[in-house]
Structure 1
């Protein structure tokens, strides 16, 4: 009885397509109420709590907010990068014509807000904030789409996903180039070299999850220490992961032939 009333409905809720979007919206509302309630100090203290490790020659101890923005978001962009690569190679963005629409839309979606900001804001103290209106919040964009579920066509979801990811890449690059106080070029080049190594290995048919995870962690640290946002590393590493078919083409064709013969024999 308890399972029927509570467990089964929850399992159905978890399986629905809009679960991630609904969960994100609920967490956002909880965070807003918490941060603006009398308990706001506890909210801030949790975000500022230091988590990490330290040794004799290396230390990486950062706040919870840092791990969310620079750690989890790098993983999030890695997953988004995998989806975009799949769509570019074998999906809805597999031609230049299909890819050009969200690409130019994202460029315009970044340049027009920046232009309006510069046109309307002539205060020298705040003019340097021109990069703020560039980015589209990709997490919330996808959350809204997932909340609507199958009511949204697949082509529109792919377009908005590509639009949001390109827009965020632009914003991250602008932050790295124009808002970073100092970029450690040597560390950045080492990180890019390791990513290039992954591309070479993939191109030669060698792929190992263990190697990718180890190299990915190293690249993440290198990008972090270089002054470039680690989400860029997540996207670049995602494009080094090969796309593999679950079933060989010859096997798939033979299965289709078997189905055809079964239907033919049943009819005649």
Structure 2
């Protein structure tokens, strides 16, 4: 689980020298970071909600919408493919570095928020599925 992201991070070629909060406010970094965090959240959670409302799918009996929100947030960790796409999308090395910074910040924030939401969610369903052998 950790080999591919670790490989991507090691080969990202991002130097943290001179990187501050102002670097995160650059348009490319901000757009890429928020795209990973909010875009994945809205896309994944919105798709699940729409499928449930249309009757195409059912929410698992032991899952809550809060848990689905946590999982949707975790989808924002798209680190390796995001680096690949950013290098293809931006020709300017400065824009590439800003995109890499946004990817790292967005993925990290998505991981932290997703874990916090899941840790804080109701665990009754999880205990039920474990105790029933399902």
TM-score by length of 2: 0.49
Structure number with greater CO (CA < 8 Å, separation at least 6) is: 2
Larger radius of gyration: 1
